[in-house]
Amino acid sequence: MKQTKYVMLALLCLMMSAVCRADDTPIAPDALPAAAKTFVSTNFPGKKIIYAEKDWNSYECRLDDGTKIELNKKGNWDKVDCHMQAVPAAIVPDAIQKYVKANFPDCLITKIDKERYGYEIELSNDLDLRFSYQGALLGMDD
């Protein structure tokens, strides 16, 4: 009987944590942090934010060209996915741009994601590359 209570308590805790994390709430684009709005207007001139949502510690927005941007709670970008278009060159570190240009001259960087170890990018040929914050290639996946 005691084991059943502990199992039920554990399941209840898991369900509560899942519910607490799943509160993506749609918000007006104007409700995004100032840093987020500045990032979009600077790096995506002429593009309009058509959808925005807030999670417990992050934001997400979509632009009218289909670009998806994930932002931290302060409004700084964490991930930019432009699908088959190039991400803005201004957000890609120079060392990564040089590596891609030298080794994949016909490819665009279509996605960039900040990770704890550095950056993960996706090229227009669906190749994923991982770089340190200093720009050293750490690995690749196809």
- Residue 19 lies inside a defined structural domain of this protein: no
Residue 71 lies in a domain: yes
Extract the residue ranges of the chain whose pLDDT is less than 50.
18-21
What is the pLDDT, as a whole number, of residue 24? 86
| 133 inside domain | yes
CATH number at residue 89: 3.40.1420.30
Closest CA to 48 of 68, 65, 26: 65
Question: What's the pLDDT score for residue 4?
Answer: 61
Residue 82 lies in a domain: yes
Structural domain span for residue 75: 25-141
pTM of the model: 0.83
How many domains does the structure of the chain reveal?
Answer: 1
User: According to the model, what pLDDT value does residue 142 have?
Assistant: 80
According to the model, what pLDDT value does residue 23 have?
A: 73
- CB distance 122 to 137 below 8 Å: no
Model pLDDT for residues 93-105, shown as the tens digit of each residue: 999 999 999 999 9
Q: pLDDT value at position 51?
A: 97
Distance CA 79, CA 28 (A): 20
C-alpha to C-alpha distance for 124 and 54, rounded to whole angstroms = 29
Domain contains 4 = no
Classify residue 17: in a domain, yes or no: no
CB atoms within 10 A of CB 142: 6
Q: Which two tokens stand for residue 52?
A: 């925005």
> Is residue 11 one of the residues assigned to a domain?
no
Distance CA 58, CA 54 (A): 6
Give the helix ranges, DSSP H, for 22-104.
Answer: 34-43, 94-103
Determine the Cα–Cα distance for residues 93 and 47; give it in Å rounded to an integer: 23
Residue 6 inside a domain? The answer is no
